[in-house]
Structure 1
């Protein structure tokens, strides 16, 4: 039975400590008219909840400093699509992008390899880095089951801090162009 954790309560300037948690269920047994409230304590500290809180709030801290997204212009160069990863200032702090990883469908790489991939200095408003995408799979089943095709993990940090994953999703029009491109490169029907 799935039980949603809910959204983490993140702090604006640091990672919060994980707090004791409970699972609350409302259950109806047999012919009972009203559900009963049942509370299950979660072992504290729970490693899964600790990791989920750390990951979600780390992403939150990076997003407080800058938006990370895909640029609007994408051009096919041979069998690859070239575009940009764009960092746009939102708050304080220097943001460093260390890596962009691929998805179930696309291999992502910088056009010019290097570390770090991109840096948004604390006093800069924007930064861009050229990236390229190529198909990771060309089987028809992969295209039919494209649930996570556009959830690109980007490893970034603020002010030299620990690298954390931010999930970056291209806008719908870029997704549509990438699907059409991948189908073409893979030699699959586009309709």
Structure 2
């Protein structure tokens, strides 16, 4: 059977042979990006213009980051990054998103809306984790607020700031090592915190964590994607779970520079 060409597609449907899915790369996590993967198994090149992703688990549409067109050659796949909006809570962790995109070939064009598969199932845990973080934020704002580097052989100081709101109760159980960083007094494991936050309010306070590199191979720093994103075990209203705390881009740069100096990488 002959495969239909893209030109025979309905203007409201994807061109023949084109499929879409949503993925998140390790390098996308801190910036909360995702990639709309467009695969063209048809026989005609397809140009993709504006697009957006809609999903009931997010509060608004995820729009294309780069305002330009992309050509998806026949037999190829193109990744188009989108900025994820804040999560919508409450909402079911399991749902199906859609992508709406403008497309054109040499002899046809249209605007299509299609279901967007999530083959790695990254959205459900992201939604659950970020809704849990919002629940914690209603009780206390928790952030990585400072980083003080150290000489080689000595621990640096990573500072968490906890600012209770006075509403609700929560507990911060501990913070985990990353693939790049660990704790001098609890290497390779979770650093216990045991912080109880009660309703009624309290002054903000800092928690100082003695941090050292977990590894000193240069490629681990050069290829770092997740080394400054920390998993934190919490419980809100008695419900346990995990959130993520990420260093800012500016702080991430300073931490990676410190790791290189601490490990004695050549300049």
TM-score, normalization by structure 2: 0.55
Q: Do 2:157 and 2:208's aligned partners in 1 also have CA atoms closer than 8 Å? A: yes
The alignment partner of 2:150 has SS state of: strand
Equivalent residue for 2:9? none
**2:14 maps to which residue?**
none
1:103 alignment partner in structure 2: 178
Q: Which has the higher contact order (CA 8 A, sep 6+)?
A: 1
**Structure 1 residue 33: Cα displacement:** 4.7
C-alpha distance in structure 1 between counterparts of 2:185 and 2:144, whole Å: 13
User: Which residue of 173, 177, 202 corresponds with 1:124?
Assistant: 202
Tell me if 1:185 matches 2:259: no
- C-alpha displacement of 1:171: 7.0
Structure with higher helix content: 1
Structure 1 residue 168, shift from structure 2 partner: 3.2
Aligned residues: 182
Give a deviation string over 1:11-41, Cα, whole Å, max 9, x none: 3xxx433475342343536324532313227
Q: Distance in 1 between matches of 2:173 and 2:158?
A: 17
- SS of the residue corresponding to residue 239 of structure 2 reads coil
Is the deviation greater in 73-82 or in 179-188? 73-82
Deviation (angstroms), 1:49? 4.4
- The corresponding residue for 2:16 is none
- 1:187–1:20 CA distance, 2 compared to 1 (3 A): closer
Alignment RMSD = 3.4
Gap change, CA 1:130 and 1:162, over 3 Å in 2: same
Larger gyration radius, structure 1 or structure 2: 2
Gaps of at least 5 residues in structure 2 are 1-19, 21-34, 37-52, 56-83
- The one-character-per-residue Cα deviations of 1:132-182 (angstroms, maximum 9, x if unpaired) are 11101211111211222221222222232222213232572x445433432
- Contact kept, 8 Å, 2:161 with 2:206, in 1: the verdict is yes
